[in-house]
Structure 1
Amino acid sequence: MFARRNLRRNLMIGICLPIILLSLFVIHQNRDIVFTEQLSHQQHSHFLQNIDNVHPSRSKRYTSQSQPLDIHTDKQLQNGNTMANLMAYQAPIVDFYNNQRHLQEYNPIQPIRHPVIDAKNLERFVHLDLKGAAPKIDYFTDLFPFLRQLGATGLLIEYEDMFPYSDYLSIIRHGLAYSKNDIQQILELARINNLKVMPLLQVYGHLEYVLKLKEFMHLREDRRYPQVITPCLEESYKLIFEMIDQMLSLHPSIPYLHMGCDEVYYRLVHPQCVNLHFRDEADLFIRHVTRVAKYIKSKHPNIKLFIWHDMLSQIVNSGYNNITELVELVVPMVWTYVDDVKTWFDDRFWMGFSMFHEVWVASSFKGSSGEITTMSYIGHHQRNQQTWLEAMYTASFRHRVNFTGIAVTGWSRYDHMLSLCELLPSSIPSLTYALQTIVYGHINNTQNVTISRSLLGCDRTPLWEKSADINFISCSFPGHEMYEMMYQYDGLTHIYDETMSFVRLYVTDIHLRQNYIHYKRSQECLQRLYSLEDQMIYFIDSFQRICLKFFTPDIGPEWLQTYFMRKLKEVQNRVNFIERTLKTQTSWLQRPLPNNTAPIAIKRRNFTISSLL
């Protein structure tokens, strides 16, 4: 009897266990479908429940989902197949190091969770920010046909000091600015490739490239800051109108002009403002923009004028009588560069902007991941573009906002005074994915392969996110040499971090100060430092050679001084110290070491914040 019960039990286990295991395997294999649908429903419900709590305006360049900033406060700036395929300029040691690594696998293509706006009739403009690392005309010859192939319909060109201003405005001009003939070549290249042109000329804020000069410093709204021109002096309009006249004279047939007007943080500060009867800062902003817009319209009645949205967002629902006139004069361009745009603007925001006849939006393909950034990783920028299409669908469906265009921005500096961020040629993969997202509405796995292999001509998928595992890549798009160089920079930076982490264990600041070292460990450090120094010098030579292909001679040294020379200096200081000490140190002093027994005393500075302003 006992044996029979054991037999029945074993038989049941033998039948049921395979069934259970098979069921679990099926669930595991289909987990993406099961859980994605449930997650999508939960996220959509959460979005609908919380949309009213979202603040309508955010500070410009930030990309993290932080708390919103009040626009009245001071600006807070935003966040290979084989070795034989590698370019000849690559350092052999770097090649060997990275050839042993495997690129981390990413799965950037996510299921479609939200409907997107139909973008087939939208204008698709690419922003060229020329206030940092403005390319040579030869590069535009290769780039413009490629942009048209990607689906671009126009160019938003921000010249700043690279424009060839003349007469008394010639002092504004960059020492290596474009010539008038260069501007004509750019416009002709755009025409040949069926790309419309929209110059961007700031007429209120972000005029530091003009107001930094002593000849125009008296026109600052706040004497301490050269960002904003004062509308309270008639001389300001003389300057602005002359800049407009010169811009229009070299662009006689343009259908669009962007007047900027973003981040105007200093208003009603100039002493002369007390003599003018403005209701408040908003009234001042409306009057100034309206006056400039009317002047441009008097020259070109059919031109379409644009301004950034951020200053408008506070006054569209404010009840100002003169806002109606401004609504008829300008088209707002709504920008944000965050990962998820859908929760960035609430219903009240879109209701306010529905009063405009049309609205454009601005995403980004570079220059929105931090002031000091070298590589435009695709993931962030593609998510920004994807969620912009989703947010536009919602706003057009709920509030009948008439979207007519998208500008994909690529900032070269966060400000005229700040450092270079990502370079244009090395950011083309990010731009490619952004434009293709607009064209197709989303990117699936098939399109991902087509973009990376066929359009970009890469031997592997470009990096979507920053990775600790760097492998080299070979591509053929316009600017691929600089993109490949940025891969080298990432790989070399990783070697630098590893090497210096080891060296700092045994050659610290106290060793440098006291000339007191561990002889054997210092020899080991020196061996590693020699190898690193050799690779870094090789990179400097290669980088500057590649830079000269795309940019004027000042860009290579500026980029290296921003991102590289401090690292090389640290390496060379350690090398020099170890070499010298290994030759001279034959005996060591007793502890405590000299000048190392007295307490360290640091004198506090005698200042107040007000004394600095």
Structure 2
Amino acid sequence: MQYPPWPEGQKLVHLDLKGAPPRADYLHKLIELFSELGAEGLLVEYEDMFPYEGELQLLQATAQPAYSRQEILSMQEFARSKSMEVIPLVQTFGHMEFVLKHRALWGLREVAHCVGTLNPHREEGLRLVMEMLRQVVELHPGVNTLHIGADEVYMLGEGEESKLWLATPGRTVEQLFLSHVTKVTKAIKEAWPQMTIIMWDDMMRGMSQDTLKDSGLVGLVQPMLWDYTPDLDVDRTVSLLEKYHRAGLLQLWAASSFKGSTNVHTCVPSTQRHLDNHVQWLKVAASLPAGVNLKGIALTGWQRYDHLSVLCELMPVALPSLAACLQTLLHGGLSAEAQSRVSERLGVSSVEVEAMERSSAEESLFPGRRLAELIVELNALLNSEHIRFFENSMVVRGWFSPYQRQRRMVTPLITMTIHSQASAYVTTLQQKVEAVKEEMVRLYPESSAQEWIEEHVSPVLTPLQRITEDVMACVQEMVP
């Protein structure tokens, strides 16, 4: 079914660098592809990959070096050469795990056991946020838009200082949220009067029109309403956008998702799921009453759900999804024309990464294609019933149970069969893992490859290796 194409307004691709940050040369190839697929800007979430200096140096990543100042400048220059705007995203309230995990900054948490939420009552909290923003703005010459995050501010109001603040009659957690965000946005406007400020909308969804109107945020921020679900509720979303508009928040944004929103540990995305999400957004855009305009849409590609969670799908396996989603927005659906545009540009026979045929097409068509193919193959192997449930198979449970292993009383004839089967799986997996690793370190830091393998492969490989070792130990006890 066709809808009107996405209305005027920017299409931004979100680059989440808090996990598996691409090497600088790979980043350039990706930006070039985004531009050719129809993106007009980048929403860049650096977290600990930004080269913070001075008192903030402790925020830099330690698993791999942060990007250098030069790499960040050349990334922007390259994006500009493709007519793409770069909008930095710096969290200023919730999801500050990468800041508040550091022992020296523990005192700035709202509550001790919530690493992500900043205490909104401390002057030094605001000072820290402003220093982060200052360094980011300084390294983005000519930047005119900032995204200040402010989503999922968990446990707000639970800290001791907040409880005291809330004890005054008439004060609410909503006001507590709004007062901090207003402080941040006013400080930004004071430092950079021309700056446009975007923020996530979720903490404001339950607020009344009047609360929003009186919040002090009108004219200061542009809410970005995010919904990544394939069955996004169109009517509810339209009425939420209308509420923001009536409250005086006239500049509004949408945020969809092309990867990183299915499950916290998904390894290979389903393009269809993300396409459905974009079709729902097209319906929202088509249903908005005159006067309610969307300034644009950010296609998010989360690399982790938060700084301390595991890696989601890597960029190469998600490029067919991103291409299909961008073309869906441009054509008002995944029409034949949109499909052929994706096939042509990426050299793939299907927009589903698991179904795209292996081809000898030039790597340049699809930066990271070889890695995408290898991950799909390895993922299929890791999820195959024979391998994943090897320890639960009848033979292993019947002739090589924990009880039998412990007492080293086994049937050598059958356990040798188990050994040869497990060894064959181990060998196959190790070969595939080697190939994945070799390809991955060309595009990502060594630490990302290591993390990915430990997360996805080790839980399957280690038990198989243990079985082969245990069989040999048992057989030695039983056979002369």
Same fold (TM over 0.5): yes
Partner of 1:297: 189
Q: 2 CA distance for matches of 1:520 and 1:472?
A: 41
Q: Determine helix, strand or coil for the equivalent of 1:228.
A: coil
Within a 5 Å distance, the mapping from 1:365-384 to structure 2 comes to 365-384=258-277
**Distance apart, 1:474 and its partner CA:** 5.8
Distance in 1 (alpha carbons) for counterparts of 2:294 and 2:430: 50
The correspondence for 1:568, drawn from 435, 442, 461, is: 461
Partner of 2:40 in structure 1?
153
Match of 1:483 in 2: 372
> Are residues 1:430 and 2:317 paired?
no
**Identity percentage over the alignment?**
30
| CA shift for structure 1 position 240 | 1.0
The DSSP-based 3-state class of the residue aligned with 1:171 is: helix
Residues 43 and 89 in structure 2, CA contact (< 8 A), matched pair in contact too: yes
CA distance in 1, matches of 2:360, 2:410: 44
Partner of residue 447 from structure 1, selected from 338, 355, 369: 338
Unaligned 5+ segments in structure 2 are none
Distance between the aligned counterparts of 2:107 and 2:474, measured in 1?
56
Structure 2 CA distance for partners of 1:513 and 1:318, relative to 1, 3 Å? farther
Name the CA distance, whole Å, in 1 between partners of 2:44 and 2:263.
22
Matched, 1:415 2:306: yes
Query: Counterparts in 2 of 1:75-114, with a 5 A limit?
Result: 111-112=1-2
In structure 2, the partner of 1:599 is none
TM-aligned CA distance change 1:343 to 1:283, over 3 Å: same
Paired with 2:392 and 2:347, the residues of 1 have a C-alpha distance of 37
> Partner residue of 1:173?
60
Matched, 1:186 2:75: yes
Given that residues 147 and 198 in structure 2 are in contact (C-alpha distance below 8 angstroms), is that contact kept between their aligned partners in structure 1?
A: yes
- Between stretches 520-529 and 500-509, larger displacement belongs to 500-509
Q: Deviations over 1:236-263 (max 9, x none)?
A: 1111111111111111311210000000
1:457 match? 347
How far apart in 1 are the matches of 2:90 and 2:417? 56
1:209-608 counterparts in 2 under 5 A? 209-273=98-162, 274=164, 279-319=171-211, 322-323=214-215, 325-343=216-234, 345=236, 348-355=239-246, 356-394=249-287, 396-397=288-289, 400-452=291-343, 454-458=344-348, 460-463=349-352, 476=363, 477-493=366-382, 494=384, 496-497=387-388, 502=393, 504-506=396-398, 507-586=400-479
Unmatched runs of 5 consecutive residues or more in structure 1: 1-110, 588-613
**Amino acid paired to 1:439:** L
Give 1:514 deviation, angstroms: 2.7
Q: Do the aligned partners of 2:405 and 2:474 also contact (CA within 8 Å) in 1?
A: no
Deviation at 1:446? 4.8
Cα-to-partner distance string for 1:115-169 (whole Å, 9 max, x where unaligned): 44x4252200000000000101100221111111100000000000111110011
Amino acid at match of 2:203: M
Cα gap change, 1:578 to 1:421, in 2 (>3 Å): same
Is the contact between residue 324 and residue 351 of structure 2 (CA under 8 Å) also seen in structure 1?
A: no
Q: Spell out, residue by residue over 1:143-196, the C-alpha distance to the aligned partner (whole angstroms, 9 max, x if none).
A: 111111100000000000111110011011112111111111111111111110
Asked if 1 retains the 8 angstrom alpha-carbon contact of 2:100 and 2:115, the reply is: yes
CA gap of 1:320–1:327, structure 2 versus 1, over 3 A, is closer
1:586, distance to aligned residue in structure 2 (A): 4.5
Write the distance in 2 (CA, Å) between the matches of 1:268 and 1:448.
Answer: 48
**Could you tell me how far 1:321 is from its partner in structure 2?**
5.6
1:134 aligns with 2:26: no
Q: Distance in 1 between matches of 2:131 and 2:212?
A: 30
- What does 1:23-38 align with in structure 2 at a 5 Å threshold? none
Name the CA distance, whole Å, in 2 between partners of 1:523 and 1:130. 47
TM-score computed with the length of structure 1 as normaliser = 0.72
Distance in structure 1 (CA, Å) of the matches to 2:391 and 2:351? 28
- Secondary structure of the 1:332 match is strand
Would you say the 8 A contact 1:316–1:353 is kept in 2?
Answer: no
What is the aligned-residue RMSD (CA, Å)? 2.2
User: Once the 2 structures are TM-superposed, how far is the Cα of residue 463 of structure 1 from its aligned partner?
Assistant: 2.8
Residues 233, 272 of structure 1: 8 Å contact kept:
no
Listed one character per residue, the Cα deviations across residues 523-571 of structure 1 (whole Å, up to 9, x for unaligned) are 2222221211111111222122111111111011111111111211101
Query: What CA distance in whole angstroms lies between the structure 2 residues aligned with 1:576 and 1:473?
Result: 39
Give deviations 1:340-360, integer Å, cap 9, x for gaps. Answer: 224472554233122321211
Partner amino acid, structure 2, of 1:267: L
> CA contact under 8 A between 2:42 and 2:87: conserved in structure 1?
yes
Deviations 1:349-399 (A, max 9, x none): 2331223212111111111011111112211011111111112211x13x7
Query: Is the contact made by 1:474 and 1:484 (CA closer than 8 Å) also made in structure 2?
Result: no
Q: Equivalent residue of 1:554, what SS?
A: helix
| CA displacement at 1:492 relative to structure 2 | 1.8
Distance 1:315 1:541, change over 3 A: same
The code of the aligned residue for 1:150 comes to L
1:326 is paired with a residue whose SS is coil
1:351 maps to a residue whose letter is E
Q: Is the 8 A contact 2:241 2:252 kept in 1?
A: no
Q: What TM-score do the two structures reach when normalised by structure 2? A: 0.91
Shift of 1:318: 4.4
The letter for the 1-side match of 2:150 is C
TM-fit CA distance, 1:491: 2.9
What is aligned with 1:78?
A: none
| Residue aligning to 1:605 | none
What SS does the corresponding residue of 1:226 show, helix, strand or coil? coil
* Contact in 2 for aligned 1:341/1:391 (Cα 8 Å): no
Give me the whole-angstrom Cα distance separating, in 1, the residues matched to 2:209 and 2:340. 46
What residue in structure 2 maps to residue 122 of structure 1?
9
| Residues 504 and 343 of structure 1: CA distance in aligned 2, closer, same or farther (over 3 Å) | farther
**1:93 maps to what in 2?**
none
May I ask how many residue pairs the two structures share in their alignment? 466
